Amino acid sequence: MTHSVQLLGISNAIVDVLAHVDEAFLESVGAPIGSMTLIDENQAQAIYSKMGPATEMSGGSVANTIAGVANLGGSTAYIGKVRNDQLGEIFNHDMRSLGVDIRLEPATDGPPTARSHVLISEGGQRTMQTYLGACLGLSLADITESTVGAPKALLLEGYVWDIAEGPALAKKAAAIARKNGTAVALSLSDSYCVERHRESFDDFVRNDADIVVADEEEVYALLGTSGIEPAIKALSTLDALFAVTRSAEGSVIVHGKKVIQQAADVVKTVVDTTGAGDAYSAGFLYGWATDRSLEDCARYGTYCATKVIQQLGARIEKGLLDDFS
Amino acid sequence: MTHSVQLLGISNAIVDVLAHVDEAFLESVGAPIGSMTLIDENQAQAIYSKMGPATEMSGGSVANTIAGVANLGGSTAYIGKVRNDQLGEIFNHDMRSLGVDIRLEPATDGPPTARSHVLISEGGQRTMQTYLGACLGLSLADITESTVGAPKALLLEGYVWDIAEGPALAKKAAAIARKNGTAVALSLSDSYCVERHRESFDDFVRNDADIVVADEEEVYALLGTSGIEPAIKALSTLDALFAVTRSAEGSVIVHGKKVIQQAADVVKTVVDTTGAGDAYSAGFLYGWATDRSLEDCARYGTYCATKVIQQLGARIEKGLLDDFS
């Protein structure tokens, strides 16, 4: 099988609007620290008008991972919906400038490009208030043999289930993948997202996914269990390859009976945490797509995550693994 | 005289598009390191398509200074032209969120909000390729008794002379200021800008400006001289108060016979240099507007500049002088 690219991402195309906030601001928003809340356009305007000066940069969980894989030297493509506005132009520019093949045209009408108001509080914690805008228009019609092609793997994010045709288009993408010898990877996004779509995720993990990347809270939400040992036992009974991140406790790779424990690197100063999972996925999937051992995949993921939490912004730098052996 | 605000800025309203670049990229652009070049829309698209992933944040020289004074606790207002597009919304939001009174409505037609492609190279040097877009529409009609009001001081930037009605609107603003007991401050922007408009600047400095903020290169370009001692001598013969920054050599305040030398602070790691002048102006003018001694003004300016070159981005943080005595 000849694969057109190594990794295709299908996800919400989002521009991050980042600002540092204090406790009082977070309390006034009422969202749990570290959570991602979906908001509508009016709420988006309300929160933006309360925020201080901000910095804008391309974001989106799986979009960050795709940018990361491209920066590591992988060949990548992307399916996500922006509007033909300035933020959409910024999003597509930032992807294309890394060599990512953008598969959809921007929407010419409908809501504006999505933005996530990223409220950074003490210790680099991120609380996200996300207006999905143009992402809500991603539809079954956008997922075709021609837009998906035959990548070595495709990566969906759980957040896609938050859009109307999301569950159906994920299934359609998986069906095209199966036909073309493409592996299907799923990022579970966040534990609240898993709780919103638990049954559908359970079905997708059992019947469609070849690879699942997640943090331990997301895994617990999926399995309805808690504690890493019971979780590893439960994941061992499933077919998919699981990469589970555990913050300072490192990560665990589970593939049937095979279990790999990877320690975290020590970090002195954490600047901004949430890119960590996306960067881990980038390192892990880059390793997987280039046929490295699962041990190496876990080490790559750890290295990328360690780097990204020491900078502002969720996307790793070019050539990060060049000096890594 | 009751002043509506302490400082009103009149300048080009610009969103910065920042990316790190290497020497080869700068050579391909052909611009001198550290310079600001004006480009048209086609050139803007060409350079943007060659740039890597970028970060967007509000910029503009005097706009940075106004944001800085607001962040130090000063009362401020701003006249600059954006379009009613997403970048314009970002620019106005970032100003308003600091309490800056935005005096003009966004343009509803014409070119998009201005953007400056900021190419950051080794040692934090910035090379700027600026597309003025909507700024070019700033006109005489925007400068009225009602938009200018009666601030304690107004601050113009040299870059305003790059727009068609710039020289005329600067004169008009100065005339309104004179009538209302408002001091007129001018930032010389950059030495290339001074060379482009030398005669007009010379006239404005002699006949309209009460305060001039500039770096030494800009002063040399204005005076057609070089060396700090001859420059101080020449500035002493003029009426205006001059604050001249000299990078690592500190700054010099010249007001007639009075000359104050202010040493620079030692900085270990310079992240990004160009906000330095804007931040110095913020500290200096905040001091001036709050009736501090010229010695204190120079110390405030130095402190703000020292802080800003150690971060990415040209705008100083809130409350920077709170612990400063």
State yes or no: pLDDT of A1 exceeds 70: no
pLDDT band at A325 (very low <50, low <70, confident <90, very high): low
Taking residues A178-188, report their average pLDDT: 97
Taking residues B100-112, report their average pLDDT: 98
Query: pLDDT digit string (tens) for B212-265?
Result: 999 999 999 999 999 999 999 999 999 999 999 999 899 999 999 999 999 998
Which of the residue ranges A124-133, A171-180, A260-269 has the most confident prediction, judged by mean pLDDT? A171-180
* CA proximity to B159, closest of B199, B203, B111, B196: B196
Q: Looking at residue A107, what DSSP letter applies? A: B
What is the number of other CB atoms lying within 10 angstroms of the CB of residue B88?
Answer: 22
* CA proximity to B151, closest of B34, B251, B5: B5
Q: Is A73 exposed, middle or buried (0-12, 13-18, 19+ CB in 10 A)?
A: middle
| B85/A55 Cβ within 8 A | no
pLDDT band at B1 (very low <50, low <70, confident <90, very high): low
B41 touching chain A per CB within 8 A: no
What is the number of other CB atoms lying within 10 angstroms of the CB of residue B271?
Answer: 15
Taking residues A223-233, report their average pLDDT: 96
Which residues on chain A are in Cβ contact (under 8 Å) with B57? 53-56
C-alpha A278/C-alpha B293 separation (Å) is 52
Radius of gyration of chain B (CA): 18
| A90/B56 Cβ within 8 A | yes
C-alpha A55/C-alpha B17 separation (Å) is 10
Thinking of the domain B7-308, which architecture would CATH place it in?
Answer: 3-Layer(aba) Sandwich (3.40)
Mean pLDDT, rounded, of chain A: 94
C-alpha A212/C-alpha A188 separation (Å) is 7
Alpha-carbon dihedral angle through residues A36, A40, A45, A49, given to the nearest 10 degrees: -30
Q: Is B98 exposed, middle or buried (0-12, 13-18, 19+ CB in 10 A)?
A: buried
Q: Report the percentage of chain A scoring pLDDT > 70.
A: 99
A258 touching chain B per CB within 8 A: no
pLDDT: which is higher, B311 or B304: B304
Nearest Cα of chain A lies from the Cα of B54 at a distance, in angstroms, of: 7
C-alpha B90/C-alpha B75 separation (Å) is 21
State yes or no: pLDDT of B87 exceeds 70: yes
C-alpha A113/C-alpha B33 separation (Å) is 35
Q: What is the pLDDT of residue A268?
A: 80
C-alpha A278/C-alpha A28 separation (Å) is 28
Identify the helix (H) or strand (E) that includes residue A43: helix A41-50
Topology of the domain covering A7-11+63-106+137-308: UDP-N-acetylmuramoyl-L-alanine:D-glutamate ligase (3.40.1190)
| B85/A53 Cβ within 8 A | no
Identify the helix (H) or strand (E) that includes residue A130: strand A125-131
Q: Which residue of A has its CA nearest to B313?
A: A55
Nearest Cα of chain A lies from the Cα of B52 at a distance, in angstroms, of: 5
Q: Which residue of A has its CA nearest to B311?
A: A312
Partnered with residue A19 across adjacent β-strands are A119
What residue spans define the domains of chain B? 7-308
Distances (CA, A) of A296 to A263, A325, B100: 13, 9, 52
Nearest Cα of chain B lies from the Cα of A80 at a distance, in angstroms, of: 17
pLDDT band at B266 (very low <50, low <70, confident <90, very high): confident
Q: Specify whether the CB–CB gap between A104 and A98 falls below 8 A.
A: no
| B54/A93 Cβ within 8 A | yes
